[in-house]
Amino acid sequence: MKGQEGMEASKKIVVGYAVHDIIGNNEQCLTEYDPEALRRAEDAGLIFVAQYDDGTREVVKAADVRKPDPTVNGIPLATAGYVDERTAATVAVFDALSAIVDPQPATADETGEGTEAVDPVEAFRAALAALKALEAK
């Protein structure tokens, strides 16, 4: 049915934008979403192409470009930085927990001075608090 096709088309989700330079015949992923910069780029002859979750593409005006919030099967995609930050925080929690479960003997540095002892329980609490703080981001 034609009405259903139109309805399906309205559910398409923009997963990204490309900027096409017809003179240089090249295309790049759009990473800057400042409306004024987009307008200037369009005035200079660049073309914006919306890339949808179903693989289709469509030329759009600079005024219609919005920073995408891509999803896969309804689940928002995470950027590499988002994942890296949380992975590092999670590893820090497990490292701190490991120091409680399997404490290592104190060591000395090259000068023979002992390193300052860190309370492993406090280190765990601090690492866990840092991980929990990422939840709000």
Q: pLDDT digit string (tens) for 76-118? A: 766 677 788 999 999 999 999 998 998 877 666 667 666 677 8
* Judgement on whether residues 51 and 65 belong to the same structural domain of the protein: yes
In angstroms, the CA 55 to CA 33 distance is 21
> In this structure, are residues 136 and 89 in contact, taking their beta carbons and an 8 Å threshold?
no
109 found inside a domain: no
For residue 136, what pLDDT is reported?
Answer: 76
Which whole-number Å values give the CA distances from 38 to 15, 42, 72, 116, in the listed order? 18, 6, 27, 54
Region 3-9: mean pLDDT is: 44
Split into its structural domains, the chain has a count of: 2
**pLDDT at residue 47, rounded to an integer:** 96
Q: Is the residue at 6 inside a domain?
A: no
Distances (CA, A) of 4 to 8, 11, 13, 20, 61: 6, 11, 17, 32, 26
Q: What are phi and psi of 67, to 5 degrees?
A: -60, 125
Give residue 29's domain range: 14-72
Considering the domain architecture, whether residues 35 and 61 belong to the same structural domain is answered as yes
Query: Would you say residue 7 has pLDDT above 50?
Result: no
pLDDT band at 5 (very low <50, low <70, confident <90, very high): very low
Q: Are residues 68 and 93 in the same domain?
A: no
On whether both 66 and 91 belong to a single domain, the answer is no
User: How far, in Å, CA of 14 to CA of 57, rounded?
Assistant: 9
Which pLDDT tens digit goes with each residue over 12-67?
778 889 999 999 899 999 988 999 999 999 999 999 999 987 889 999 999 999 98
